[in-house]
A and B are shown apart, each in its own frame.
Chain A
Amino acid sequence: MTEAQSRQAHPSIAAGIQSYAGAVALVAVSTLIDLWIAPRWGTAAVDMIYLPAVLAAAALWGLGPALVAGATAALAYNFFFTEPVHTFRMDRVADVVTVVVLLIVALVTSRLASAIRSQAQLAAAHAVRNATIAGFAGRLLSCSGAEDIARTACAELHRLFDCNVMLVEGLPEPRVVSGAPDGNRLTPSDVAAAALTIESGEPAGRGTARLQPAEWMFHPVRSGEDVLAAVGLARDDGLLPVGEDDLPLLANLLDQIALALARARAEDESREVAALRERDHLRSALLSSVGHDLRTPLTGIIGAAAELRHDGGNDPALVATVECEAGKLERYISNLLDMARIEAGAVKLKTEPVDLVDSVAAAIKDIRPTLGDHPVSVDLPDDLPLVRADAELLHHCLINLIDNAGRYSSPKGPIRVAAAAARGEVRLSVEDEGPGLPQDAERALDAFSRISGSDRKGGTGLGLAIVKAFAQAMGAKVLASNREGGSGAIFTVLFPKMLVVKASDTADAG
């Protein structure tokens, strides 16, 4: 017996003695009243006077004192009021009946009273338990964040069950999130029990059905199907930390922890979403502001160069160089911003049926001023099907592919843009007559993903990376290969069947 339990035992023994003495005292008082009544009005009502005493003893102190009261009352009645008086002998049947009735009353009343009392005690115990759970839930409610919840929960359980408590989470190796008192270590068998609890959602360890060799007893903290964590309980003296009687209370408290943890998790997630949104917002604001800041001076330079060209009196070649280089710079900036948009996941897709004739013509018009002397030939069949694409993304793809072809050709090397439909697919390709790609086709495709290459020609990796990312966003593929019968590279944007518009869909255009 622990110290606390033995301290509790003494008052209950004292109370027992008191209640028996009380029962006897009640009977004594009744006897005195009877002794006063009997000489005056006879002994007819005397036995009735004992009834309240027995009832009172039963109601106040329960079965034992009630029986003592009943027996004492019977003896006193027998001794003082039945013939022969002042003996314990009984001659009359009526007297025997009185004694028996007194005992039965004592028995029945005390039963009833003790039933009522134990219900009251139960209700009181329930009230205490509900108050415990409510208090526990309240303290968890005021916690902010999962760690705070774990710490408070451990401290509270430690106080309520008078044992060591820890909260563990994570698989396959659960780690201690919080403990009360701090610094408890787990043995390998405890870790196994904790892991089993989290994995299965059932208790494990000491005092449970599974992994009993563990020192700690683990109970799951569950929210619906999920096991959020496990709570471990143990005592320094090696006794069971939680008795059978307290398991329902513990289960209730664990549910409260689960609620609090789930709430904290939901709060964390919504905070994260808000932060993410904020960051995306900031990023796109930054992008558009950088784009604006870089383009404004460029607009000035390009416009001023055009005015110089009109002015005359300047070296036309120099002015042309300014215009051409400023145009190139503009494209690098565009590529940088496009790449940033891709990396930020900010590419918006606006798909529509597109005529590749339009796309190729627009791309050549835009790239022409900075392309130098490369002749560009176009080979698009009259009956080329329309494709579903984002016209703008495709525009930037084509500009980069043509620019790339120009970069890797000799100064006047021809560039060919062609498209063809076959087997329901449409292929749009840009060819040059430069040295071509390295032998290994895989390595050639690797160039797409190389964003920060040490390429002397600069910007190339970026341009192709953008081509690949934009094509992928549209659902198209990019292929790289070498020309057959002569040197040169071919980059092809492949529109799969699902992106090709069937001729029947456009039949009723009128």
Chain B
Amino acid sequence: MPARAAKVLVVDDEPQIRTLLKATLTRAGYSVVEAGSGREALNAKTIDKPDLVLLDLGLPDRDGLELVTLLRNEPRTALIVISARDQTEQKVAALDLGADDYVTKPFDTEELLARVRASLRQRLASEAERQVVEVGRITIDLLERMVRRDAEEVHLTPKEWILLAELAKHPGRVLTHHALLRTVWGPAHVGQTEYLRVAIRALRQKLEDTPSQPKLIVNEPGVGYRLIAKV
């Protein structure tokens, strides 16, 4: 934990959810600011300058996606959206607008804390920490462009490396199918999800203990992939 506790702005119109989130986050050592509406959230963003925003997409007074853009930029702030189960399209849209991650109601608090840590990591981790990512038996060295399983080097194709590196640059965070396709294959191929599936499968066969039951690279149905990393 850094010297100053990271500040989290919780935006939800339900007071009991805010209370719960405050209890969970406080226990984990964060300082918490609450907002019950879009307007309060925008005020709090200016006044309290939070490090991370937890935003419920279903606020009554403002469109959730509009708030994603407003709360995330100027200054840039980590942002996690909270959404209902049947709002996959909205989740993906929020991620494409720059949200770092999402949780679905009802959420598991441990999972929520893992997402918060992963999203804050980018701002708080040191240079050295960012260069080497360890996932289970796998070590990904982003600077040396090298992957090791235990001590042994794993050989990847160029596309596999770009894909794994992209996931490793955001450990623990979900990256949408679109975002990955754009980075690895280019904007012309964002519709070709099958490329992504095949490359992920190849990576799993080289990195996972049991490729048919992946533990390192996991999929969020309809959303994207996540590299499970201890943060």
Contacts and interface: CB of A to CB of B under 8 A. Distances in A.
Same complex origin of A and B: yes
Given A288-B84, A509-B194, A300 B212 contact: no
A361 B218 contact: yes
Q: Is the interface of A mostly helix, strand, loop or mixed?
A: helix
A506 interface: yes
B197 A299 contact: no
Given A295-B106, A307-B23, A378-B212, A505 B219 contact: no
A505 B194 contact: yes
Nearest to A362: B221
Nearest to A388: B194
A320 to B, nearest CB: 13
Given A307-B109, A355-B201, A501-B194, A300 B16 contact: yes
Interface string A355-396: 101111110010000000000001111100010001110110
Interface string A268-309: 000000000000000000001001100111111111101100
Contacts of A337: 86
A298 B106 contact: yes
Contacts of B58: 292
A353 B16 contact: no
B161 to A, nearest CB: 11
A510 interface: yes
A223 interface: no
B2 interface: no
Given A353-B193, A382-B212, A395-B221, A291 B86 contact: yes
Interface in A316-342: 326, 330, 334, 337, 341
A350 interface: yes
Contacts, number: 133
A386 B200 CA distance: 12
Contacts of A359: 219, 221
Contacts of B21: 303
A456 interface: no
B199 interface: yes
A310 interface: yes
Given A291-B86, A296-B14, A357-B201, A304 B219 contact: no
Given A295-B84, A510-B195, A391 B221 contact: yes
B17 A307 contact: no
Given A288-B86, A292-B58, A395-B221, A304 B105 contact: no
B102 to A, nearest CB: 14
Given A307-B23, A365-B218, A510 B159 contact: yes
B197 A307 contact: no
B16 A296 contact: yes
Given A300-B20, A391-B221, A509-B159, A357 B204 contact: yes
Contact of B214 (A296, A299, A357, A506): A357
A354 interface: yes
A353 B24 contact: no
A352 interface: yes
Nearest to A353: B194
Nearest to B28: A310
A378 B213 contact: yes
Nearest to A323: B108
Contact of B106 (A310, A326, A381): A326
Contacts of B220: 362
Contacts of A358: 197, 200, 214, 218-219, 221
Contacts of B27: 307, 310
Nearest to B204: A357
A210 B70 CA distance: 78
A297 B14 CA distance: 10
A386 B194 contact: yes
Contacts of B157: 510
B198 interface: yes
A350 B221 CA distance: 11
Contacts of B205: 382
Given A303-B21, A303-B24, A362-B218, 11 more contacts: A299-B106, A302-B106, A334-B85, A357-B201, A361-B214, A382-B211, A395-B222, A509-B159, A509-B194, A509-B199, A510-B195
24 contacts: A288-B84, A295-B106, A296-B16, A299-B17, A299-B20, A300-B20, A302-B109, A306-B110, A350-B222, A353-B194, A355-B219, A358-B214, A358-B219, A362-B218, A362-B221, A381-B212, A386-B197, A391-B221, A394-B221, A501-B194, A506-B197, A509-B159, A510-B157, A510-B159
Interface of B: 14, 16-17, 20-21, 23-24, 27, 58, 84-86, 88-89, 105-110, 157-159, 177, 185, 192-201, 204-205, 211-214, 218-222
